[in-house]
């Protein structure tokens, strides 16, 4: 059978599987068996085609649903952190890559702008903050701002502010993702100009050791929030074989879960900023240890572990050699 005829014969069936997911376990299992049969046929007669890639992604999705419906000994809370959130991060990993790349470009824009225009830092950070920081530098305590409030007050304020910023970055994804990109632009340019201000005064390395004690978690979490906003925007703009409403609901659900996964990160970052960063004279090795551990955690939990978990969960017999790309659809 030619591939075009194979597609014509089965496309409506596959599309119906995507539009109306099965709830009954028996029906879910029956659909999964049919899909794996179609996938085996396609792999035999149309190797390397988009049809194979599409069926592999669809079959893998059914495999994940079957796995999710199995009774688990562990509680729902544990399952969310060990499986549900990492699998969402793995399936939406392309948006995390986009958010990271855009954010770094915006940081460079902030650095270059501050270098070319002495007044740019004041425009971004405000006259009050710049004047206060300059006075602290002259006093020999450039990061004295982190000692200006008692630890508990700073912890509560920073935690609330970071969570608010992340929610704003996500919600702005409702504007087709454009709002999220703009929010990343604001935060990236601010970080770039902020760091350039210290490097231009010869205390750049010291700023890294002090500010990034909490900044590593904060910045990484904002990038993940940006990815969540892009997921929401993509769900609205590119529904694929789903209705726009279905696509938006699924994207919003995944994005909200990504955002929920950041709450402990923001609380820990606020704790560091309120109780640890203020000790600006701590040994460099200790600062680097905290910074390195924070970076390792964010990369490990939000990037490496999800990728490994997805490979393990989607190891459907006969399809392991094909990458899982659920976004692909030849229909």
The residue ranges of every structural domain in the chain are: 3-71, 83-311
Tell me the per-residue pLDDT of 220-230, one tens digit each, with 9 for 90 and over: 999 999 999 99
With a cut of 50, list the residues of the chain below it in pLDDT: 316-331
How many distinct helices (H) and strands (E) make up the chain? 15, 0
Tell me the per-residue pLDDT of 229-244, one tens digit each, with 9 for 90 and over: 999 999 999 987 778 8
Tell me the per-residue pLDDT of 6-21, one tens digit each, with 9 for 90 and over: 888 888 888 888 777 6
Q: How many CA atoms lie within 13 A of 241 on its CB side?
A: 19
Q: Single out the residue of 150, 187, 154 nearest to residue 168, CA to CA.
A: 187
Residue found by looking up tokens 């002259």 in the block: 138
The token duo for 289 is 């240890």
Counting beta carbons within 10 angstroms of the beta carbon of residue 50, is it exposed (0 to 12), middle (13 to 18) or buried (19 or more)?
middle
Q: What local confidence, expressed as pLDDT, does residue 327 receive?
A: 43
Q: Single out the residue of 298, 292, 289, 288 nearest to residue 265, CA to CA.
A: 298
Tell me the per-residue pLDDT of 149-184, one tens digit each, with 9 for 90 and over: 889 999 999 999 999 999 999 999 999 899 999 999
Counting beta carbons within 10 angstroms of the beta carbon of residue 140, is it exposed (0 to 12), middle (13 to 18) or buried (19 or more)?
exposed
* CA diameter of the chain: 81
Cα(10)–Cα(287) distance, integer angstroms: 59
């Amino acid at each position: 059978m030619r591939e075009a005829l194979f597609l014509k014969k089965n496309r409506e069936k596959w599309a119906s599987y995507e539009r109306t997911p099965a709830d009954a376990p028996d029906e879910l299992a029956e659909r999964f068996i049919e899909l794996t049969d179609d996938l085996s046929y396609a792999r035999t007669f149309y190797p390397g085609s988009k049809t194979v890639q599409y069926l592999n992604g669809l079959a893998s999705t059914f495999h994940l649903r079957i796995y999710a419906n199995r009774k688990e000994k562990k509680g729902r809370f544990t399952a969310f952190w060990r499986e549900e959130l990492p699998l969402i991060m793995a399936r939406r990993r392309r948006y995390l890559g986009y958010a990271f790349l855009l954010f770094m470009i915006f940081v460079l824009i902030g650095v270059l702008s501050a270098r070319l225009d002495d007044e740019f830092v004041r425009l971004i950070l405000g006259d009050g903050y710049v004047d206060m920081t300059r006075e602290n530098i002259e006093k020999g305590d450039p990061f004295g701002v982190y000692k200006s409030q008692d630890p508990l007050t700073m912890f509560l304020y920073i935690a609330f502010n970071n969570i608010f910023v992340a929610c704003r970055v996500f919600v702005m994804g409702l504007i087709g993702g454009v709002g999220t990109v703009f929010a990343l632009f604001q935060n990236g340019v601010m970080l770039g100009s902020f760091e350039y201000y210290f490097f231009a005064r010869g205390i750049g390395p010291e700023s890294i050791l002090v500010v990034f004690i909490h900044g590593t978690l904060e910045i990484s979490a904002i990038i993940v929030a940006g990815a969540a906003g892009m997921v929401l925007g993509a769900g609205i703009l590119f529904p694929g074989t789903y209705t726009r409403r279905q696509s938006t609901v699924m994207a919003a659900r995944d994005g909200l879960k990504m955002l929920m996964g950041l709450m402990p990160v923001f609380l820990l970052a606020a704790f560091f900023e309120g109780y640890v960063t203020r000790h600006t004279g701590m040994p460099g090795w200790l600062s680097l240890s905290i910074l390195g551990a924070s970076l390792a955690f964010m990369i490990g939990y939000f990037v490496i572990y999800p990728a490994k978990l997805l490979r393990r969960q989607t190891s459907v017999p006969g399809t392991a050699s094909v990458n899982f790309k659920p976004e692909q659809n030849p229909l």
